[in-house]
Structure 1
Amino acid sequence: MSLQIVGFSIIILAALLVIGKLIRLKVPILQKLFLPTSLIGGFLALLLGPEVLGKLTGDGFLNAGLFTDQMVEVWAGLPELLINVVFACLFIGFVLPKPKKMWRIGGPQIALGYTMSWAQYAIGILLAITVLTPLLGLSPAAGALIEIGFVGGHGTAAGLQSTFEELGFAEGYDLAIGLATVGILSGVIVGMIMVNWAARNGKSKTLHHPDEISFEQQTGIINKEHRKSAGTKTTSSLSIEPFALHLGLIGISIFIGFVLLEILVWLEAVTYGEAFGIYLFEYVPLFPFAMIGGLLVQLFLSRFDRHELVDRDTINTIQGVALDFLIISAMASLSLQVIGENIIAFILLAVAGIVLNTFLFLYLGPKMIPSYWFERGIGDFGQSTGVAATGIMLMRIVDSENKSPALNAFGYKQILFEPMVGGGLVTAASVPFIIQFGAVPVLIGVTLLTIAFWLLGTLYFGKMKESD
């Protein structure tokens, strides 16, 4: 495949993003649902591609829709590359707080978030053992799909594509991408229903009425007086463009992650792998190690970068661009046929995830979070249903003036949450773990972890006084 085709495929995705933004501006219901432009553009690409338009026209000249088979092939490969950029950016330029402060402020959210994630594994694996595997013929690894799709999102699902294929569960990729889409939709829709409920029943201390949602939040267009720079120039263009410098740091982070993963694969092969026939790291994707690489780069910069060359806003911009292209390319290359062939399993997993997250938030939120439980807990609900961006969006709607500690606590939570679940090491290794050790041992393990974090949240953080 030529570089010209790769470049042209990316150009078409960029154009679809612009069209998706225009559609969002013209369709009020999309604004009320707060759907990301990348998701709208991805739906458009899916409709105009081989899975919908191509199927409707049969084997004619539009068998790949308005696109070509090579373009769709490029789109299918992009998410697995871009997720490394997204995760490498997590800690670069992020000032790490003291552990005591991080635990005190973010602890309740850490406990609630982990409880919801481990519970998703427990319910998913229980479904796999009782229904999905014996009755529907799916791999036991289907038990990990709720957490991968809901908390991990499109990026994590895409990053695990090769893992699914290598472990003989190729349909897991399309199911996970589909669940990630359902997760974002349900996170926004159910989240907004609960925001309205909280406003009308006095459950929120900061949101007085749902009509307070601003024009900027609905349209995604920032008024001129509120606009700010997407980044600060930290170096002169005569030496190196700041954007290029930041891309270089991200590249170094990914390379460090690659080296770490290769070392672990080698160590596994010459130790317990060869002795017991257990191989895990060869199926673990690169992106969680890219995150570790980014953390190591940040630790180095914190110690030796006296000129403060890293600008966090620039890193956020690069991460946002990668995530937008990741989501639209994942949606554009989604196989509806695979989801259709496994529609019962798909519905069961989706409904189980939505009901579980809603129940745990409404039941455990007041018991685990001593103050501003709704403002803070809605972030955990959003992330556990439709990734971190959904959680942040819901928190900003509930607390637009930042009167509560919600955003700070959510940020501290991510430092101890993202490295493990929601796309971290546990998420990446969950499918190989289930395949290698069996569903029942993993079910026992995640059930014990669910109980442990449940008790930590209710008996420790939940007993704190509001002043603490």
Structure 2
Amino acid sequence: MTNVLQAFALLGLFLLIGTLLRAKIGWLQKLFIPASVVGGAVGLLVGPQIWGDLTPVQYPTDWIKMYSLLPGVLIVPVVASVPLGIQLSQKDSSSGTARNVFNMFFLMLALFAFQLAVGGAVGAFFATSMPDLGIYSTFGLEMPLGFSGGHGTAGVIGNMLNGMGLEYWEIAQGVAVTYATIGLLGGIISGIAIIKWLNGRNALEGSADAASLPKSWLTGLEPDPEKQRVAGRETTVSTSIDVIGFNLALILAGSGLAILLRAWVRSYDLPLIKAVPVWAYAIIVMWVIWLVMNRLKIAWLVDAGVKGKIASTLTDFAIVAALVSMPVQGVLTFAAPILIAAVVGFIGTIALCLGLARKLFSSAPYERAMLVFGTGSGVFLTGLLLLKICDPDFKTPAMRDGSLAYSMNTVVGFILIPIMVGAAVQSGPIALAGIGAAVLVASVIGIWLTSFMRGGAATELKQEG
């Protein structure tokens, strides 16, 4: 256990180095690269995954193995925390608001499906034309998970493939981290460029320049006590249990029940059920716990802010561990298909967001589109960053509606992932292309059905005004 503590201490050191570099280096601030990504990159650059025996910092071999497994372990409590704090009823139910929320959800889902179709098609092409390259059966799933899920979801695919006994799980996890890095950097750089172009065409309601963002957004630090945000509400009293301890205990308890439930279900040796990963059980268990807490009227015990901080902390450590342990040589083997899929995926993502904005949204169309684009190329925080530039004071309802749409999209995504992995293991990347095309068609049908909702901008403005 002391060895485990030392291994985590090194990850903590890299996180601190990443925080310092982000606070001091201008180009890192302009690209808004998270400290976890910076720290993980430092750990990778000085470690044995690149330099081998010549590495300036030699990690014990068992640490590298631990780091590669850690994202798949930490993703279980991260996913388990998703249902907690979700509002099960909305006071604002105007048809205009509902239509915009559903359209943002379907657009997010369409981006995920398009990226999946492209990743699967590229994987199938290289598997057929260059069989010696060694394209594995689930190749292509990494792009949508990396683009639309970010670095944290690399552990999702690693956890699933490792649990299924597939030897290439570390390579797949590394490819997902690569796509997440490409998506994060590309999404921010291209997003800022698109915002400047839209602002020049007077297409935005209140755009600001990226340079006008608060300094704390750039450095990642907030030295002014009066501007420091409160992490969350203390729903418990520390003389009994600390609020972070309570929320963490609830998340870990749900994760533990999920592990027991999975072991019980797998004891029946059902062919398809055996492949369901533990985090899928975790999200089901936590939904049940959350529904019960709401029914018992004790949902107030969970604070969404505190819960979010716990999940973010676990995600930060998962990202550093995934980057430090990334199998560089194995990932470079697939450089050509990764690059081709990333370019096509990016162009299509931009085209879908900008091309459909005015047709889908009754108010703030491009503000909503940039939030969706940032979410579909990096993570939800990337989308919020681009929205902050478009809508500095969050005067439009884009953030509110986007948060609801993102919550819906996250739940649907976690439902789809086991289905996609199972199909790919059986039929190869071409199955991913087929599923992506089917989900894309379903998204279009959803958008068409949403168009029958009455109301629009006038209804929405009346309710807010």
Paired residues for 1:67-86 under 5 Å: 67-86=59-78
**Matched residue, 1:451:** 441
**Matched residue, 1:276:** none
Q: Please give the per-residue CA displacement for 1:313-367, whole angstroms capped at 9, x wherever unaligned.
A: 2111111111111111111111111112221122122222222211211112222
Give SS of 1:334's match: coil
1:193 aligns with 2:193: yes
**Matched residue, 1:340:** 332
Q: Please give the per-residue CA displacement for 1:37-82, whole angstroms capped at 9, x wherever unaligned.
A: 1000001101111023x33xxx3xx557343323322222211111
**Amino acid corresponding to residue 448 of structure 1 in structure 2:** A
**Amino acid corresponding to residue 131 of structure 1 in structure 2:** F
Q: Assess, with a 3 A threshold, how the Cα gap between structure 1 residues 44 and 441 changes in structure 2: closer, same or farther.
A: closer
Paired residues for 1:410-429 under 5 Å: 410-421=402-413, 424-429=414-419
1:399 aligns with 2:363: no
Please state how far the C-alpha of 1:457 moved relative to its aligned partner.
2.6
Q: Tell me if the contact between 1:112 and 1:365 (Cα under 8 Å) persists in the aligned partners.
A: no
Among residues 119, 123, 128, which one is paired with 1:124 in the alignment? Answer: 119
Paired residues for 1:128-167 under 5 Å: 128-135=123-130, 136-165=133-162, 166-167=165-166
Q: Tell me if the contact between 2:29 and 2:218 (Cα under 8 Å) persists in the aligned partners.
A: yes
Give SS of 2:301's match: coil
Q: Tell me if the contact between 2:99 and 2:450 (Cα under 8 Å) persists in the aligned partners.
A: no
How many residues align? The count is: 449
Distance across 2 between alignment mates of 1:107 and 1:307: 26
Paired residues for 1:68-467 under 5 Å: 68-98=60-90, 101=93, 103-135=98-130, 136-165=133-162, 166-170=165-169, 171-222=171-222, 223-262=224-263, 264-266=265-267, 269-270=269-270, 273=271, 279=272, 281-306=273-298, 308-421=300-413, 424-437=414-427, 439-440=429-430, 443-457=433-447, 460-461=450-451, 465-467=456-458
Among residues 38, 44, 47, which one is paired with 2:45 in the alignment? Answer: 47
Please state how far the C-alpha of 1:455 moved relative to its aligned partner.
4.3
Distance across 1 between alignment mates of 2:371 and 2:262: 32
Q: Please give the per-residue CA displacement for 1:128-154, whole angstroms capped at 9, x wherever unaligned.
A: 222344323302421322112211222
**Amino acid corresponding to residue 420 of structure 1 in structure 2:** V
**Amino acid corresponding to residue 240 of structure 2 in structure 1:** S
Q: Assess, with a 3 A threshold, how the Cα gap between structure 1 residues 341 and 306 changes in structure 2: closer, same or farther.
A: closer
**Amino acid corresponding to residue 196 of structure 1 in structure 2:** K
**Amino acid corresponding to residue 49 of structure 1 in structure 2:** G
Among residues 2, 9, 12, which one is paired with 2:10 in the alignment? Answer: 12
Distance across 2 between alignment mates of 1:91 and 1:163: 20
Structure 2 portions without partners, runs of 5+: 460-465
Q: Please give the per-residue CA displacement for 1:17-39, whole angstroms capped at 9, x wherever unaligned.
A: 11111111111111111110100
**Matched residue, 1:25:** 23
Q: Tell me if the contact between 1:367 and 1:462 (Cα under 8 Å) persists in the aligned partners.
A: no
Distance across 1 between alignment mates of 2:375 and 2:248: 27
Please state how far the C-alpha of 1:450 moved relative to its aligned partner.
0.9
Give SS of 1:419's match: helix
Q: Tell me if the contact between 1:105 and 1:412 (Cα under 8 Å) persists in the aligned partners.
A: no
Q: Tell me if the contact between 1:107 and 1:461 (Cα under 8 Å) persists in the aligned partners.
A: no
Q: Assess, with a 3 A threshold, how the Cα gap between structure 1 residues 407 and 130 changes in structure 2: closer, same or farther.
A: same
**Amino acid corresponding to residue 213 of structure 2 in structure 1:** I
Q: Please give the per-residue CA displacement for 1:281-300, whole angstroms capped at 9, x wherever unaligned.
A: 43332223322322222212
Q: Please give the per-residue CA displacement for 1:254-290, whole angstroms capped at 9, x wherever unaligned.
A: 13433444455456x34xx3xxxxx3x4333222332
Q: Please give the per-residue CA displacement for 1:369-428, whole angstroms capped at 9, x wherever unaligned.
A: 22111111112111211122222222233223111111111111123211121xx12124
Q: Assess, with a 3 A threshold, how the Cα gap between structure 1 residues 306 and 440 changes in structure 2: closer, same or farther.
A: closer
Distance across 1 between alignment mates of 2:208 and 2:238: 48
Please state how far the C-alpha of 1:448 moved relative to its aligned partner.
3.0
Distance across 2 between alignment mates of 1:145 and 1:87: 18
**Matched residue, 2:462:** none
Please state how far the C-alpha of 1:303 moved relative to its aligned partner.
1.9
Please state how far the C-alpha of 1:437 moved relative to its aligned partner.
4.6
Q: Assess, with a 3 A threshold, how the Cα gap between structure 1 residues 438 and 46 changes in structure 2: closer, same or farther.
A: closer
**Amino acid corresponding to residue 224 of structure 1 in structure 2:** P
Q: Please give the per-residue CA displacement for 1:200-227, whole angstroms capped at 9, x wherever unaligned.
A: 2222112144443222222222233211
Q: Tell me if the contact between 1:48 and 1:65 (Cα under 8 Å) persists in the aligned partners.
A: yes
Distance across 2 between alignment mates of 1:21 and 1:210: 21
Task: Give the TM-score, by structure 2 length.
Answer: 0.89
Q: Assess, with a 3 A threshold, how the Cα gap between structure 1 residues 315 and 445 changes in structure 2: closer, same or farther.
A: closer
Q: Assess, with a 3 A threshold, how the Cα gap between structure 1 residues 440 and 23 changes in structure 2: closer, same or farther.
A: closer
Please state how far the C-alpha of 1:105 moved relative to its aligned partner.
4.3
Distance across 1 between alignment mates of 2:346 and 2:195: 16
Q: Tell me if the contact between 1:87 and 1:290 (Cα under 8 Å) persists in the aligned partners.
A: yes
Distance across 2 between alignment mates of 1:121 and 1:321: 28
